[in-house]
């Protein structure tokens, strides 16, 4: 049934006897497949099939009748249902098998899988032999598969006469392991990001599409400022304008035929630190005529140097725009051509001009599209703001008429900020099931112009095997605490697991004055890993080191073969996270990072080890 029901009843009725339904199958899965026994109703009988939902009134009836005739001989049929299944690993495939006899046939069938089962996969029949009219179940385990696969199996049944009956089974095995996905750019902890950034990520082999989310809090939810669903590529050009001097959190969520997967790690960024002033035109509408230059002055009294300038809310009636040029003129007389008659015979401007806009000039320039101007407004960068600015509309002889209705001059100046920094980030060590405080001797952030109470931590990812507590109260994603809380011994961790492991939490730190750093990871060793040291022979090598961009992680033995690899800055900022996945050689590309010293940490369930990596291009 094409409606949302899980179970159906299947009926047969003769001719048009809708009121005399014969039940063939009760409360079976609504999967489009079923093997049923047709009762002996006589010969040359016309009938139809009805499928009716168990839990509501919807039903469907076959469009045409079919004939039931007497068998001319004896025999047996065999089949599987369903013939096609989508299997979401690690689930097991469960398939019904049924035999149906006709005439006076008697005899048992021996069941087997003839072909198509991958090496290492297992199966079992509830009954390996069934009678001529019996049903059983086949359970198949294909969890040894590491990626999505389509399996074409042939299920066989051998009759007492030695004949083999066959039916086909297609299993679309869908793997929900998305650990090969990763966020790429903007890098975690990026600063001075433009207001319309391009986001890139590494796709997972097991994903079909992605959902993208960017928010002002790692909680996401109602703090999301933009989201987009069903993205098939690995890049998104943000179509909205982010606010300047603000921290944002972004992630992507993989989707395949089994539904939503686990999201990537949340990355954080901060847009460019600047302060902006919007100065709107407040005069009356000004008429436009053919073959003239029309100039509207805006006096700016702010005495500063331009770092960014935009012309927003441009509302100009123009017949037609292909006979129109738009200019912005600075007090020094420098002119920037915003629009240069690019479009055809179209009317009116309803748009914004911004160098950081996601698109070039769009025709028609309406619907308040934010567009990059014909010439860059960056030509004004470094000039003095103070004085009379002018918005010019230049028309040709082909122009008919129009009006300058509105526009807003937005000018910005850079803000000088001092960022906080990670002074200490050392692991907490405790026993299984223990609670322990996190003192400032293990976690300490500092700032040259802010006090400990002004340095605020935001939890980006909470511990997986315990609770992060502030004065005994649990902290979740999006919760905050201050450096003063740590100094006053108010922060603690409570382990709720029953095994040795490495736990921890991700966080950002901001000072309330546009300074921040993140996202960083605080490590918590629980149980045996808290005291186990790693021998140098159980180590790894980094080659080349120093290097100019491409590095290789080489394992000395298998101790860390299934470890996670964390790349952090010297201040503790998390930059890259990946898995070794039983590899003894891992290649890392640092070409998008700045020269400097980085920390490479290998972590498995029993231990961890860190080495320094030096990126130097000269």
- Nearest partner of 193 among 250, 270, 282, judged by Cα: 270
- Nearest partner of 576 among 558, 557, 555, 551, judged by Cα: 551
Strand partners, 158: 110, 164
Domain boundary among 397, 414, 431: 414
Q: Are residues 403 and 467 in the same domain?
A: no
Strand partners, 390: 297, 329
pLDDT, tens digit (0-9, with 9 covering 90-100), for 410-431:
998 877 888 999 999 999 999 9
Per-residue model confidence (pLDDT) at position 558: 62
569 phi, psi to nearest 5 deg:
-75, 170
Is 13:47 a contact under the CB 8 Å cutoff? yes
Contacts of 326 (CB under 8 A, 6+ apart): 314, 316, 337, 338, 339, 349, 353, 391, 392, 393, 394
Q: Are residues 294 and 395 in the same domain?
A: yes
Report the CATH number at residue 199. 2.60.40.10
- Cis ω before 320 (30° cut-off from 0): yes
Per-residue model confidence (pLDDT) at position 377: 96
pLDDT category at 268 given cuts 50, 70, 90 is very high
39 phi, psi to nearest 5 deg:
-70, 160
Between residues 532 and 368, which one has the greater pLDDT?
Answer: 368
pLDDT, tens digit (0-9, with 9 covering 90-100), for 486-514:
999 999 999 998 888 888 999 999 999 88
- Cis ω before 495 (30° cut-off from 0): no
Measured CA to CA, the distance from residue 79 to residue 85 in angstroms comes to 15
pLDDT category at 536 given cuts 50, 70, 90 is very low
* Residue 30 included in any domain: yes
DSSP-based three-state secondary structure for 593: coil
- For 264-353, strand residue ranges (E) read 267-271, 274-280, 286-288, 293-300, 308-319, 324-329, 335-340, 347-353
Per-residue model confidence (pLDDT) at position 596: 79
Measured CA to CA, the distance from residue 458 to residue 220 in angstroms comes to 13
Per-residue model confidence (pLDDT) at position 227: 97
- Residue 543 clears pLDDT 90, i.e. is over it: no
The single residue listed with the structure tokens 């007497």 is: 70
Is 352:313 a contact under the CB 8 Å cutoff? yes
Q: Are residues 526 and 601 in the same domain?
A: no
Q: Are residues 200 and 331 in the same domain?
A: no
The single residue listed with the structure tokens 């961790």 is: 493
* Residue 376 included in any domain: yes
Q: Are residues 292 and 397 in the same domain?
A: yes
* Residue 57 included in any domain: yes
Q: Are residues 234 and 307 in the same domain?
A: no
Measured CA to CA, the distance from residue 136 to residue 450 in angstroms comes to 72
Q: How far is CA 449 from the centre of its chain?
A: 37
pLDDT, tens digit (0-9, with 9 covering 90-100), for 208-228:
999 999 999 999 999 999 999
DSSP-based three-state secondary structure for 85: strand
- Residue 529 clears pLDDT 70, i.e. is over it: no
User: For 3, how many CA atoms within 13 A lie in the half-sphere containing its CB?
Assistant: 13
The residue range of the domain holding 2 is 1-70
Q: How many helices (H) and strands (E) does the chain have?
A: 1, 51
* Residue 212 included in any domain: yes
- Residue 82 clears pLDDT 50, i.e. is over it: yes
For the segment 471-478, the average pLDDT, to the nearest whole number, is: 96
- Helix H or strand E encompassing 484: helix 483-487
Report the CATH number at residue 315. 2.60.120.260
Report the CATH number at residue 551. 2.60.40.3080
* Residue 379 included in any domain: yes
For the chain, how big is the Rg over CA atoms in Å?
Answer: 34
pLDDT category at 533 given cuts 50, 70, 90 is very low
Q: Are residues 362 and 436 in the same domain?
A: no
For the segment 429-443, the average pLDDT, to the nearest whole number, is: 95
C-alpha dihedral sign at 464, 467, 468, 474: positive
Q: Are residues 401 and 524 in the same domain?
A: no
Per-residue model confidence (pLDDT) at position 609: 81
Task: Quote the number of domains for the chain.
Answer: 5
In which order are the strands placed within the sheet that holds 435-437? 435-437, 491-495, 466-470, 473-475
Q: Are residues 497 and 560 in the same domain?
A: no
- Residue 538 clears pLDDT 60, i.e. is over it: no
Q: Are residues 400 and 435 in the same domain?
A: no
The region of weakest confidence among 53-57, 244-248, 281-285, 515-519 is 53-57
Measured CA to CA, the distance from residue 115 to residue 218 in angstroms comes to 49
For the segment 25-32, the average pLDDT, to the nearest whole number, is: 82
Per-residue model confidence (pLDDT) at position 102: 81
Domain boundary among 530, 560, 583: 530
Between residues 124 and 31, which one has the greater pLDDT?
Answer: 124
Per-residue model confidence (pLDDT) at position 537: 43
pLDDT above 90 covers a percentage of the chain that reads 51
Per-residue model confidence (pLDDT) at position 438: 97
* Residue 243 included in any domain: yes
- Helix H or strand E encompassing 535: none
* Residue 119 included in any domain: no
Strand partners, 334: none
Domain boundary among 385, 414, 443: 414
* Residue 226 included in any domain: yes
pLDDT category at 484 given cuts 50, 70, 90 is very high
For the segment 149-163, the average pLDDT, to the nearest whole number, is: 94
Q: Are residues 224 and 318 in the same domain?
A: no
Is 448:417 a contact under the CB 8 Å cutoff? no
Per-residue model confidence (pLDDT) at position 605: 66
Per-residue model confidence (pLDDT) at position 539: 66
Between residues 587 and 9, which one has the greater pLDDT?
Answer: 9
pLDDT, tens digit (0-9, with 9 covering 90-100), for 293-312:
999 999 998 877 888 899 99
Q: Are residues 350 and 476 in the same domain?
A: no
């Amino acid at each position: 049934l094409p409606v949302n029901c899980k179970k159906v009843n299947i009926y047969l009725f003769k001719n048009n006897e809708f009121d005399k339904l014969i039940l063939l199958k009760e409360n079976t899965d609504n999967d489009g497949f079923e093997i049923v026994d047709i009762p002996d109703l006589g010969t040359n009988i016309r009938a139809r099939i009805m499928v009716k939902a168990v839990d509501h009134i919807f039903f469907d009836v076959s469009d045409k009748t079919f004939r039931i005739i007497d068998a001319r001989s004896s025999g047996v049929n065999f089949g599987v249902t369903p013939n096609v299944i989508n299997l979401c690993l690690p689930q097991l495939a469960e398939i019904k098998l049924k035999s149906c006899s006709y005439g006076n046939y008697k005899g048992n069938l021996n069941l087997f899988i003839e072909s198509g089962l991958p090496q290492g996969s297992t199966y079992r029949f509830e009954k390996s032999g069934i009678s001529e009219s019996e049903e059983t179940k086949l359970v198949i385990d294909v969890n040894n598969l590491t990626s999505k696969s389509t399996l074409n199996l042939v299920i066989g049944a051998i009759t007492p006469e030695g004949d083999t009956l066959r039916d086909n089974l297609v299993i679309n095995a869908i793997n929900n392991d998305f650990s090969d996905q990763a966020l790429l750019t903007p890098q975690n902890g990026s600063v001075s990001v433009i207001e319309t950034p391009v986001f890139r990520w590494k796709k997972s082999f097991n994903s079909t599409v992605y959902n993208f989310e960017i928010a002002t809090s790692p909680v996401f939810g109602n703090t999301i400022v933009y989201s987009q669903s069903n993205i098939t590529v690995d890049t998104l050009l943000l179509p909205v304008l982010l606010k300047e001097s603000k921290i944002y959190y972004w992630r992507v969520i993989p989707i395949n035929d089994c539904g939503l997967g686990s999201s990537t790690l949340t990355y954080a960024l901060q847009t460019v630190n600047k302060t902006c002033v919007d100065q709107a035109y407040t005069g009356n509408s000004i008429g436009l005529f053919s073959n003239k230059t029309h100039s509207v002055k805006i006096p700016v009294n702010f005495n500063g140097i331009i770092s960014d300038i935009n012309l927003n809310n441009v509302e100009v009636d123009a017949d037609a725009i292909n006979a129109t040029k738009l200019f912005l003129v600075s007090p020094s007389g420098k002119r920037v051509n915003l629009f240069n008659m690019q479009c055809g015979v179209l009317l009116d401007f309803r748009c914004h001009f911004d160098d950081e806009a996601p698109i070039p000039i769009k025709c028609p320039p309406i619907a308040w599209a934010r567009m990059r101007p014909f010439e860059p407004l960056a030509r004004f960068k470094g000039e003095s703001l103070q004085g009379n600015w002018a918005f010019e509309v230049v028309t040709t002889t082909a122009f008919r008429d129009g009006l300058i209705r509105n526009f807003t001059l937005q000018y910005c100046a850079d803000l000088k900020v001092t960022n906080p920094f990670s002074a200490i980030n050392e692991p907490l060590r405790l026993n299984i099931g223990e609670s322990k405080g996190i003192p400032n001797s293990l976690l300490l952030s500092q700032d040259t112009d802010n006090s400990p109470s002004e340095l605020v931590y935001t939890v980006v990812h909470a511990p997986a095997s315990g609770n992060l507590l502030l004065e005994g109260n649990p902290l979740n994603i999006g919760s905050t605490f201050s450096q003063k809380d740590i100094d006053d011994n108010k922060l603690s961790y409570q382990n709720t697991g029953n095994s040795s492991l490495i736990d921890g939490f991700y966080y950002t730190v901001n000072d309330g004055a546009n300074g921040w750093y993140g996202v960083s990871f605080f490590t918590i060793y629980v149980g045996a890993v808290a005291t186990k040291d790693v021998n140098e022979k159980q180590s790894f090598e980094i080659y080349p080191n120093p290097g100019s961009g491409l590095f290789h992680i080489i394992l000395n033995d298998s101790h860390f073969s299934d470890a996670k690899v964390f790349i952090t800055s010297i201040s503790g900022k998390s930059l890259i996270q990946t898995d070794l996945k039983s590899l003894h050689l891992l290649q890392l590309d640092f070409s998008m990072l700045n020269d400097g010293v980085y920390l490479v940490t290998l972590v498995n369930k029993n231990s961890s080890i860190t080495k320094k990596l030096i990126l130097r291009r000269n």
